[in-house]
Amino acid sequence: MSVRVWPYRRPLDRIRAAPWRLGDTAGDPVPAALPAWDYASDLTLARLVEIDLAELRADCGLPPDAPLRLAVRHWPSTSLLRTSAHAQDLAPHQDRATCEVLISVDSSELGGFLTVETLVVLAGDLPTTEPFVAARGGSILWSDQIRVHLEGGAGLLPIAPVSFAEAGLPAGSAWYVSMDGGDWQQAAMGSLLVLLNEDNPTVKQAMEASRSELSGMLWSMLEADIVTDLVGRALDDDAFVDETPSDDPDGDLTMAGLVRALVRTYLARPTESPEHAIKRLRDDRRRDPSRFRADVHCGVRFLTDREATS
């Protein structure tokens, strides 16, 4: 467990930030996940922030005219590019401030999960030599974050069509899930690749007609295969079961994180944590591998709720 120690004094409960809400400050509270979000939907969030500026400056050892700023920035897990969404200077010598913050995030900047961070910072350098007092502009005096899941935790898998005959893979197969094994802390996107056999006429037809009944059935089978392969390989590996989950929410999605996301999304029971689900699934798989496969089919709703369009 890591502990962050700041090199300067910070305020003690001088900021009352209301929860973020959808649309405006009268909207519904922002949920942990937006399952109805799609790639064409912008996101508008609002909140009220009340700041006791006089007490905040006193807590931090700052003079009454210290320049302060309320700022909001956000970034998606897909790019981690930080965007400034709001900046409001707080007047010197002012005792209290009530700020209404409204931000809008364009759909082109969204994906994965969105992190929104609210900060109160020092807005300029101060000519002070007092120890443990913030003096550089940009010093963060207070902050909080929320995360909104937009696409679930499973992320997107890299898929590539190849000629299996030329690649030396079984020519009559449909696909091959390529995984670098051994290190579960590797980035998933660099360790996992799904190869589709373009020599297989049915697979090729499904790729060319992405919204056909055939493609829906094949993608359903591929989804079940991927979950079975990835989770099954992790359950069989003592190194995965013994490793400690990462607590870095902004780090790259690792192979271990991807497996836990698949377990949480498809296989965990409603009140079950991913860690408890993994232990249960590991015992089930050892007793009856066929039952584990059936659990995966049930979790991914295999061939039961696919939209068939022709």
Q: What is the pLDDT of residues 162-174, one digit of tens each?
A: 999 988 899 889 9
Q: What distance in Å separates the CA atoms of residue 98 and residue 103, rounded to the nearest whole number?
A: 16
Nearest to 45, CA basis, from 58, 34, 59, 61? 34
Q: What distance in Å separates the CA atoms of residue 217 and residue 206, rounded to the nearest whole number?
A: 9
- Cβ atoms 308, 294 nearer than 8 A: no
One-letter amino acid of 284: D
Taking only the tens place, the pLDDT of each residue in 185-241 is: 877 777 788 899 999 998 888 877 755 677 778 888 888 898 899 899 999 988 886
Q: What distance in Å separates the CA atoms of residue 310 and residue 307, rounded to the nearest whole number?
A: 10
Q: What distance in Å separates the CA atoms of residue 83 and residue 77, rounded to the nearest whole number?
A: 13
At residue 119, the pLDDT reads 96
At residue 19, the pLDDT reads 94
Give the pLDDT means over successive 10-residue stretches in the chain (310 positions): 78 94 92 77 94 95 94 84 93 92 90 89 89 93 90 64 90 87 74 88 80 76 89 87 56 76 84 86 91 89 58
- Other CB atoms within 10 Å distance of the CB of residue 238: 8
Nearest to 11, CA basis, from 71, 57, 64? 57
At residue 113, the pLDDT reads 81
For the full predicted model, state whether its pTM sits above 0.95: no
- Cβ atoms 152, 265 nearer than 8 A: yes
Q: Per this entry, what is the length of the chain?
A: 310
Residues paired with residue 70 on neighbouring β-strands, in sequence order: 88, 120
Residues paired with residue 103 on neighbouring β-strands, in sequence order: 45
Where helices occur in the chain by DSSP H, the ranges are: 53-60, 164-167, 188-191, 201-208, 213-235, 238-242, 255-262, 274-287, 289-299
At residue 64, the pLDDT reads 92
At residue 310, the pLDDT reads 38
Structure-token pair, residue 31: 């949920």
DSSP state of 177: E
> CB-based contacts of 76: which residues, under 8 Å, 6+ apart?
109, 110, 111, 112, 113, 114, 115, 150
One-letter amino acid of 135: A
